Amino acid sequence: MSHGHADESPLLAKVLTVSDGVFHGARDDTGGRGLAEHLAANGFDVVDHQVTQDGADVVAAKLREMTDGFAGLVVTTGGTGFAPRDQTPEGTRAVLEREAPGVAEAMRLISPFGRLSRGVAGIRGQAIICNTPGSPKGTIEQIDAVIDVLPHALRLLASAPTDHTN
């Protein structure tokens, strides 16, 4: 399902589920799986889906690993709320080179519960990272709020190094 010209490479995506419960096998990863399926249905080639436990340091380490040399979208699900272990935004901020507050704001405005999401969005290298809530409904709602602009943003990032060569 192509969104543009034939010469455009497919849009790549990765999903990171952040959850102590899922990581330790106590909970099913319905949110992460649903998110991966939803991205695939919207024209993204989901090339990786990983699970990590909650905590800023582990999230930062996992995001570094997943974005190194990767041009595409990385969506996290989980750890964006007010509970003490909800540290996904802190871990994400630690790896971001540039924030994209407009993306995070649009995601938050999608529902009243969005106001309780502390998720951030931004850029590392040629990757865009977006935090979404852990709820299967919330993660889809929030990514849907920006899925229309993400392909354009990814193409802008991918073209950055060659802008002034010809």
Mean pLDDT of 42-66: 97
Looking at residue 10, its pLDDT comes to: 80
Hunting for tokens 């750890």 — which residue is that? 79
pLDDT at residue 126 greater than cutoff 70 = yes
Q: For the segment 66-121, what is each residue's pLDDT rounded down to a tens digit?
A: 999 999 999 999 999 999 999 999 999 999 999 999 999 999 999 898 889 999 99
Mean pLDDT of 32-39: 98
Topology annotation, domain 11-159 = Molybdenum Cofactor Biosythetic Enzyme; Chain A (3.40.980)
> Structural domain boundaries of the chain?
11-159
pLDDT band at 160 (very low <50, low <70, confident <90, very high): low
Which alpha helices (DSSP H) does the chain contain, by range? Answer: 20-23, 30-41, 56-67, 88-95, 101-108, 136-144, 150-159
Looking at residue 113, its pLDDT comes to: 87
Which alpha helices (DSSP H) does 96-165 contain, by range? Answer: 101-108, 136-144, 150-159
Q: What is the pTM of this model?
A: 0.91
pLDDT band at 28 (very low <50, low <70, confident <90, very high): very high
Looking at residue 6, its pLDDT comes to: 46
Q: What is the dihedral of CA 17, 43, 40, 97, to 10 degrees?
A: -10
